[in-house]
Amino acid sequence: MPLIEAKNLSKSYGAIRAVRSVSFTVDRGEVVGFLGPNGAGKSTTMKMLTGHLRADEGASVIAGFDVADQAVQAKQHLGYSPEGAPAYGEMTVREFLRFAADLRGLANPAESVRQTLELCRLNEVAAQTIDTLSKGYRMRVGFAQAVIHDPEVLILDEPTDGLDPNQKFEVRRILKEMAARKAVIVSTHILEEVGELCTRVIVIAKGEVRCDESRDKFLARGSDLNAVFRQLTA
Protein backbone atom coordinates (compact mmCIF):
# COMPACT_ATOMS: atom_id res chain seq x y z
CA MET A 1 0.00 0.00 0.00
CA PRO A 2 1.43 3.40 -0.93
CA LEU A 3 1.64 5.83 1.98
CA ILE A 4 0.54 8.82 -0.09
CA GLU A 5 -2.06 8.68 -2.84
CA ALA A 6 -3.24 11.63 -4.89
CA LYS A 7 -6.24 10.62 -6.98
CA ASN A 8 -7.27 13.04 -9.71
CA LEU A 9 -6.93 16.09 -7.50
CA SER A 10 -8.40 19.24 -9.02
CA LYS A 11 -8.87 22.73 -7.66
CA SER A 12 -10.06 25.98 -9.17
CA TYR A 13 -9.91 29.48 -7.77
CA GLY A 14 -12.73 31.24 -9.54
CA ALA A 15 -12.03 30.87 -13.25
CA ILE A 16 -8.42 29.79 -12.73
CA ARG A 17 -7.84 26.06 -12.71
CA ALA A 18 -4.90 25.85 -10.33
CA VAL A 19 -4.61 22.06 -10.28
CA ARG A 20 -5.97 19.75 -12.98
CA SER A 21 -6.47 16.10 -12.23
CA VAL A 22 -3.14 15.41 -10.55
CA SER A 23 -2.49 11.75 -9.63
CA PHE A 24 0.51 9.98 -8.14
CA THR A 25 1.47 7.65 -5.33
CA VAL A 26 4.46 7.68 -2.99
CA ASP A 27 5.79 4.57 -1.20
CA ARG A 28 7.80 4.18 1.96
CA GLY A 29 11.46 5.02 1.43
CA GLU A 30 10.78 7.47 -1.39
CA VAL A 31 11.72 11.13 -1.24
CA VAL A 32 9.84 12.89 -4.00
CA GLY A 33 11.09 16.24 -5.20
CA PHE A 34 8.07 18.30 -6.17
CA LEU A 35 9.28 20.80 -8.75
CA GLY A 36 7.62 23.54 -10.68
CA PRO A 37 7.68 27.27 -11.32
CA ASN A 38 5.94 29.63 -8.90
CA GLY A 39 2.19 29.44 -9.36
CA ALA A 40 2.36 26.00 -10.95
CA GLY A 41 0.05 24.47 -8.36
CA LYS A 42 2.65 22.87 -6.06
CA SER A 43 1.39 24.43 -2.85
CA THR A 44 -2.25 23.96 -3.81
CA THR A 45 -1.61 20.26 -4.44
CA MET A 46 0.16 19.93 -1.10
CA LYS A 47 -2.65 21.72 0.69
CA MET A 48 -5.14 19.29 -0.78
CA LEU A 49 -2.95 16.31 0.13
CA THR A 50 -2.75 17.46 3.74
CA GLY A 51 -6.44 18.24 4.08
CA HIS A 52 -6.02 21.98 4.52
CA LEU A 53 -7.83 22.69 1.26
CA ARG A 54 -10.83 20.74 0.12
CA ALA A 55 -10.34 19.38 -3.40
CA ASP A 56 -13.02 20.26 -5.96
CA GLU A 57 -12.59 16.78 -7.37
CA GLY A 58 -10.54 13.74 -6.50
CA ALA A 59 -9.24 12.46 -3.20
CA SER A 60 -6.07 12.19 -1.23
CA VAL A 61 -5.20 9.26 0.97
CA ILE A 62 -2.57 9.30 3.72
CA ALA A 63 -1.46 5.93 5.15
CA GLY A 64 -4.69 4.39 3.90
CA PHE A 65 -6.98 7.06 5.37
CA ASP A 66 -8.94 9.49 3.22
CA VAL A 67 -8.09 13.03 4.39
CA ALA A 68 -11.66 14.20 3.87
CA ASP A 69 -13.58 11.28 5.40
CA GLN A 70 -11.10 10.01 8.00
CA ALA A 71 -9.38 13.29 8.65
CA VAL A 72 -8.16 12.75 12.20
CA GLN A 73 -6.66 9.30 11.49
CA ALA A 74 -5.03 10.54 8.29
CA LYS A 75 -3.56 13.54 10.10
CA GLN A 76 -2.12 11.39 12.87
CA HIS A 77 0.16 9.81 10.25
CA LEU A 78 1.05 13.10 8.64
CA GLY A 79 3.71 15.69 9.34
CA TYR A 80 3.33 18.88 7.33
CA SER A 81 5.30 22.07 7.20
CA PRO A 82 3.50 24.73 5.16
CA GLU A 83 5.32 27.28 3.05
CA GLY A 84 7.11 29.84 5.21
CA ALA A 85 6.90 27.56 8.27
CA PRO A 86 4.14 29.41 10.14
CA ALA A 87 4.17 29.13 13.94
CA TYR A 88 2.70 30.87 16.96
CA GLY A 89 5.24 33.69 17.20
CA GLU A 90 4.48 34.64 20.78
CA MET A 91 5.33 31.17 22.11
CA THR A 92 8.79 29.91 22.90
CA VAL A 93 10.16 27.07 20.78
CA ARG A 94 9.73 24.62 23.64
CA GLU A 95 6.16 25.75 24.40
CA PHE A 96 5.22 25.50 20.74
CA LEU A 97 6.61 22.00 20.35
CA ARG A 98 4.96 20.95 23.60
CA PHE A 99 1.66 22.27 22.27
CA ALA A 100 2.15 20.31 19.04
CA ALA A 101 2.94 17.17 21.06
CA ASP A 102 -0.08 17.62 23.33
CA LEU A 103 -2.41 18.36 20.46
CA ARG A 104 -1.28 15.14 18.82
CA GLY A 105 -1.97 13.32 22.07
CA LEU A 106 1.54 11.84 22.26
CA ALA A 107 2.02 9.42 25.16
CA ASN A 108 5.17 11.07 26.43
CA PRO A 109 5.13 14.66 25.20
CA ALA A 110 8.05 15.90 27.30
CA GLU A 111 10.33 13.20 25.91
CA SER A 112 9.14 13.81 22.34
CA VAL A 113 9.92 17.51 22.72
CA ARG A 114 13.38 16.74 24.12
CA GLN A 115 14.24 14.37 21.29
CA THR A 116 12.92 16.73 18.63
CA LEU A 117 14.88 19.68 20.00
CA GLU A 118 17.94 17.46 19.83
CA LEU A 119 17.25 16.14 16.34
CA CYS A 120 16.60 19.58 14.86
CA ARG A 121 19.43 21.18 16.87
CA LEU A 122 17.10 23.68 18.48
CA ASN A 123 18.30 23.33 22.07
CA GLU A 124 20.10 26.64 22.18
CA VAL A 125 16.97 28.59 21.19
CA ALA A 126 14.42 26.43 23.04
CA ALA A 127 13.57 29.19 25.52
CA GLN A 128 13.32 31.97 22.91
CA THR A 129 10.02 33.18 21.52
CA ILE A 130 9.63 32.18 17.88
CA ASP A 131 9.16 35.81 16.78
CA THR A 132 12.74 36.58 17.80
CA LEU A 133 14.32 33.75 15.78
CA SER A 134 16.29 34.07 12.57
CA LYS A 135 14.77 32.63 9.42
CA GLY A 136 16.96 29.55 9.60
CA TYR A 137 15.78 28.68 13.07
CA ARG A 138 12.17 29.44 12.21
CA MET A 139 12.29 27.01 9.30
CA ARG A 140 13.74 24.39 11.62
CA VAL A 141 10.94 24.97 14.12
CA GLY A 142 8.44 24.38 11.32
CA PHE A 143 10.27 21.22 10.43
CA ALA A 144 10.41 20.15 14.09
CA GLN A 145 6.63 20.36 14.61
CA ALA A 146 6.21 18.24 11.48
CA VAL A 147 8.41 15.39 12.74
CA ILE A 148 7.68 15.47 16.50
CA HIS A 149 5.36 12.45 16.25
CA ASP A 150 7.69 10.54 13.91
CA PRO A 151 5.05 10.39 11.17
CA GLU A 152 5.08 7.92 8.31
CA VAL A 153 4.24 10.66 5.84
CA LEU A 154 6.16 13.92 5.65
CA ILE A 155 5.09 16.76 3.38
CA LEU A 156 7.32 19.83 3.34
CA ASP A 157 6.58 22.94 1.33
CA GLU A 158 9.89 24.63 0.48
CA PRO A 159 11.68 23.62 3.68
CA THR A 160 14.99 25.09 2.55
CA ASP A 161 13.62 28.36 1.18
CA GLY A 162 15.69 31.32 2.32
CA LEU A 163 18.25 29.26 4.21
CA ASP A 164 22.00 29.74 3.87
CA PRO A 165 24.06 26.83 2.46
CA ASN A 166 24.97 25.51 5.89
CA GLN A 167 21.37 25.52 7.05
CA LYS A 168 20.25 23.82 3.84
CA PHE A 169 22.85 21.14 4.41
CA GLU A 170 21.52 20.67 7.92
CA VAL A 171 17.88 20.23 6.85
CA ARG A 172 18.91 17.78 4.14
CA ARG A 173 21.00 15.83 6.64
CA ILE A 174 18.04 15.39 8.99
CA LEU A 175 15.75 14.48 6.12
CA LYS A 176 18.13 11.86 4.80
CA GLU A 177 18.47 10.36 8.26
CA MET A 178 14.78 9.68 8.52
CA ALA A 179 13.82 9.19 4.87
CA ALA A 180 14.20 5.41 4.69
CA ARG A 181 11.29 4.87 7.09
CA LYS A 182 8.94 7.42 5.55
CA ALA A 183 7.24 8.63 2.44
CA VAL A 184 8.41 12.19 1.87
CA ILE A 185 7.35 14.95 -0.52
CA VAL A 186 9.54 18.04 -0.65
CA SER A 187 8.61 20.96 -2.84
CA THR A 188 11.44 23.14 -4.03
CA HIS A 189 12.57 25.24 -6.90
CA ILE A 190 16.19 24.56 -6.20
CA LEU A 191 17.09 22.01 -8.85
CA GLU A 192 20.35 21.00 -7.20
CA GLU A 193 18.36 19.56 -4.32
CA VAL A 194 17.05 16.85 -6.57
CA GLY A 195 20.38 15.12 -6.90
CA GLU A 196 21.28 15.43 -3.24
CA LEU A 197 18.03 14.56 -1.60
CA CYS A 198 15.42 12.96 -3.79
CA THR A 199 14.84 9.47 -5.10
CA ARG A 200 12.15 10.59 -7.50
CA VAL A 201 11.01 13.76 -9.26
CA ILE A 202 7.57 15.09 -10.10
CA VAL A 203 7.48 18.22 -12.23
CA ILE A 204 4.26 20.20 -12.24
CA ALA A 205 3.39 23.18 -14.42
CA LYS A 206 0.11 24.97 -15.09
CA GLY A 207 -1.59 22.59 -12.67
CA GLU A 208 -0.59 19.43 -14.55
CA VAL A 209 1.99 16.73 -13.93
CA ARG A 210 4.59 17.15 -16.67
CA CYS A 211 6.98 14.44 -15.60
CA ASP A 212 7.09 11.74 -12.89
CA GLU A 213 10.23 9.63 -12.92
CA SER A 214 13.19 8.38 -10.88
CA ARG A 215 15.96 10.77 -10.00
CA ASP A 216 18.47 9.01 -12.25
CA LYS A 217 16.16 9.20 -15.23
CA PHE A 218 15.52 12.85 -14.57
CA LEU A 219 19.21 13.67 -14.22
CA ALA A 220 19.90 11.82 -17.46
CA ARG A 221 17.68 14.27 -19.37
CA GLY A 222 20.61 16.63 -19.72
CA SER A 223 23.57 18.13 -17.93
CA ASP A 224 21.92 21.55 -17.71
CA LEU A 225 19.04 20.99 -15.30
CA ASN A 226 17.81 24.55 -15.73
CA ALA A 227 17.31 23.97 -19.42
CA VAL A 228 15.56 20.67 -18.73
CA PHE A 229 13.29 22.43 -16.25
CA ARG A 230 12.47 25.23 -18.70
CA GLN A 231 11.64 22.77 -21.42
CA LEU A 232 9.42 20.62 -19.16
CA THR A 233 7.48 23.55 -17.73
CA ALA A 234 7.08 25.56 -20.94
Partner 1 sequence: MSSSEKSSSPGLKPFMAMVRREFAGYFRTPLAYVFLAVFNAFAVSLAFFVGGLYESGIASLDRFFLYHPWLWAFLAPAAGARLWAEERRQGTIELLLTWPITVWQAALGKFLAAWLFLACALLMTVPVALTVGWLGDPDWGVIIAGYAGSLLCAGACLGIAAIASALTRSQVIAFVTGFLACFVLVLVGYGVFDELLAGLLGSAGVDEVRRFGLWRNLEPFTLGLVDVRPIAYFLSVAFAGLGLSTIIVERR
Residues 130-189 that bind partner 1 (CB under 8 A): 145, 147-150
Which part of the chain contacts partner 1 (CB under 8 A), choosing from 12-20, 25-33, 72-80, 222-230?
72-80
Our finding on whether 72 is near partner 1 (CB under 8 A) is yes
Nearer to partner 1, 7 or 104 (CB): 104
Which part of the chain contacts partner 1 (CB under 8 A), choosing from 115-123, 184-192, 204-212, 225-233?
115-123
Order of all β-strands in the sheet with 4-13: 16-26, 4-13, 57-62, 65-66
Cα–chain center distance at 47: 10
> Would you say 34 and 204 are in contact if contact means Cβ atoms under 8 Å apart?
yes
- Considering the complex, what minimum distance in angstroms separates the CB of residue 100 from partner 1? 7
Our finding on whether 78 is near partner 1 (CB under 8 A) is yes
Our finding on whether 52 is near partner 1 (CB under 8 A) is yes
* HEC per residue, 110-166: HHHHHHHHHHCCCHHHCCCEHHHCCHHHHHHHHHHHHHCCCCCEEEEECCCCCCCHH
- Considering the complex, what minimum distance in angstroms separates the CB of residue 202 from partner 1? 20
Q: Which of 111, 124, 177, 192 binds partner 1 (CB under 8 A)?
A: 111
Nearer to partner 1, 152 or 170 (CB): 152
Rg (CA), the chain: 17
Nearer to partner 1, 47 or 200 (CB): 47
- Considering the complex, what minimum distance in angstroms separates the CB of residue 76 from partner 1? 5
Q: Which of 8, 27, 29, 71 binds partner 1 (CB under 8 A)?
A: 71
Q: Give CA–CA dist 221/200, Å, rounded.
A: 14
* Interacting residues toward partner 1 by CB under 8 A: 47, 50-52, 71-73, 75-76, 78, 80, 82, 84, 86-91, 99-100, 102-108, 111-112, 115-116, 119, 145, 147-150
